[in-house]
């Protein structure tokens, strides 16, 4: 069997390992802690992060990076965004020339404000730059692990690599499209977590469907504004990596960001919320990065600004809602009015 390495034995890494194993690959699932690897191998289930999803016999968990990577032609990175740089750096000596590196983390590096493929490029030899890809889209691990129909996007700097990733993952239960817009796919996957925090806060305050729909719609508008300024295509944000991922993250209780937002809306402090979650909430650090990017690129992102205020300035969530609703009146799609259709 062809060997694939999945680095990160959290919920998403485990779900992807299951998906690949069902296609007949020999999957090496790397866990940072040896006790986690032993637990997975003994129970053929990740009782810590993805309980209820049986793990096929052709998945072997290990805490030894060299064992996981030796002889593989595909490396799937499913570690938290803040661990991507360190993990890639540790992998360098074991990566073969033709290896494809597929990032599945959704976030930004806080210290540098860089996209994760940019981080990967900095840590890899030049000849591997074109072997980097991204897998993103609306895909809760809990559902993927059970084989529920899911559709995602593979993006890369060249079409050959994107299609390789497509072929690697695609199945009757896991449909993969390709998209050449790496910037847009990465930003859509990262920034939707900020809006999911906002919709969670709204839910925690007791607001309803109208409010959630407004936040999601205006949220994708500000994600698109920043994305286009950073070089992405606006069309990407209308697809699976944009509105698709936004919908699932803002509406599902599988979403850690939404659940964290609910607790914030109910009046809990950030430290308490993160302790209660017990797992990484990517949207917290991404909010910091998105706020700084909006200032760097001089892009108006009012929802992001209010979420930042709640998370890091102790702002009352109700005040944030009032500030959003009390903003000066605007046209819905400024670009249409400026450059396109005019009033009759």
Neighbours of 20 (CB within 10 A): 26
pLDDT value of position 57? 97
pLDDT value of position 338? 46
**Pair 190, 289 in one domain:** yes
pLDDT value of position 43? 98
**Pair 47, 130 in one domain:** yes
pLDDT value of position 335? 56
Positions marked catalytic: 192
Distance separating alpha carbons of residues 326 and 336, to the nearest angstrom: 23
**Is residue 34 domain-resident?**
yes
Q: Are 37 and 63 in contact (CB under 8 A)?
A: yes
**Domain endpoint, select from 158, 180, 202:** 180
pLDDT value of position 96? 85
Please choose, from the candidates 183, 194, 196, 13, the residue with its C-alpha nearest in 3D space to the C-alpha of residue 115.
183
**Is residue 293 domain-resident?**
yes
pTM: 0.94
**Is residue 277 domain-resident?**
yes
Tell me which residue range forms the domain holding 61. 3-180
State which H helix or E strand residue 93 sits in: none
Distance separating alpha carbons of residues 35 and 5, to the nearest angstrom: 19
**Pair 266, 126 in one domain:** no
**259-281 core/surface letters (b: 16 or more CB in 10 A; e: else):** bbbbbbbeebebeebbeeeeebb
The dihedral over CA atoms of 65, 67, 70, 71, expressed in degrees to the nearest 10, equals -130
pLDDT value of position 311? 95
**Is residue 341 domain-resident?**
no
**Pair 53, 11 in one domain:** yes
pLDDT value of position 339? 46
**Domain endpoint, select from 165, 180, 195:** 180
Domain harbouring 100, CATH code: 3.40.50.720
State which H helix or E strand residue 13 sits in: helix 11-22
Structural tokens at position 338: 């400026």
Q: pLDDT 10s per residue in the chain (344 long)?
A: 799 999 999 999 999 999 999 999 999 999 999 999 999 999 999 999 999 999 999 999 999 999 999 999 999 999 999 999 999 999 999 998 889 999 999 999 999 999 999 999 999 988 788 999 999 999 999 999 999 999 999 999 999 999 999 999 999 999 999 999 999 999 999 999 999 999 999 999 999 999 999 999 999 999 999 999 999 999 999 999 999 999 999 999 999 999 999 999 999 999 999 998 888 899 999 999 999 999 999 999 999 999 999 999 999 998 888 888 887 777 776 654 444 555 54
pLDDT value of position 191? 97
Distance separating alpha carbons of residues 45 and 24, to the nearest angstrom: 18
Please choose, from the candidates 203, 207, 208, 303, the residue with its C-alpha nearest in 3D space to the C-alpha of residue 259.
203
**Pair 156, 208 in one domain:** no
């Amino acid at each position: 069997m062809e060997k694939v390495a999945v680095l990160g034995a959290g919920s998403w890494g485990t779900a992807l390992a299951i998906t690949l194993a069902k296609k007949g690959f020999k999957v090496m699932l790397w866990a940072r802690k040896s006790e986690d690897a032993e637990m997975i191998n003994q129970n053929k289930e990740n009782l810590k992060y993805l309980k209820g999803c049986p793990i096929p016999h052709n998945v072997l968990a290990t805490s030894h990076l060299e064992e996981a990577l030796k002889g593989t032609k595909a490396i799937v990175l499913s570690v938290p965004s803040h661990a991507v740089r360190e993990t890639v750096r540790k992998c360098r000596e074991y990566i073969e020339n033709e290896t494809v590196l597929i990032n599945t983390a959704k976030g930004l590096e806080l210290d540098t404000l860089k996209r994760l493929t940019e981080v990967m490029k900095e840590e890899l030899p030049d000849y591997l730059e074109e072997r980097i890809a991204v897998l993103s889209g609306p895909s809760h691990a809990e559902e993927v692990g059970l084989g529920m129909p899911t559709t995602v996007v593979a993006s890369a700097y060249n079409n050959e690599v994107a299609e390789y990733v497509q072929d690697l993952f695609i199945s009757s239960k896991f449909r993969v499209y390709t998209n050449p817009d790496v910037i847009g796919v990465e930003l859509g996957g990262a920034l939707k977590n900020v809006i999911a925090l906002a919709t969670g806060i709204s839910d925690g305050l007791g607001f309803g469907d109208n409010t959630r729909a407004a936040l999601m719609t205006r949220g994708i508008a500000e994600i698109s504004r920043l994305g286009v300024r950073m070089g992405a295509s606006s069309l990407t944000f209308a697809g699976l990596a944009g509105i698709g991922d936004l919908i699932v993250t803002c509406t599902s209780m599988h979403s850690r960001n939404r659940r964290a937002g609910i607790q914030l809306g109910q009046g809990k402090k950030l430290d308490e919320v993160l302790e209660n979650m017990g797992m990484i909430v990517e949207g917290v650090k991404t909010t910091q990065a998105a706020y700084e990017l909006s200032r760097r690129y001089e892009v108006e992102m009012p929802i992001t600004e209010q979420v930042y205020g709640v998370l890091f300035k102790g702002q009352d969530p109700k005040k944030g809602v009032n500030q959003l609703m009390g903003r000066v009146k605007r046209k819905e799609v400024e670009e249409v009015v400026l450059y396109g259709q005019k009033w009759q």
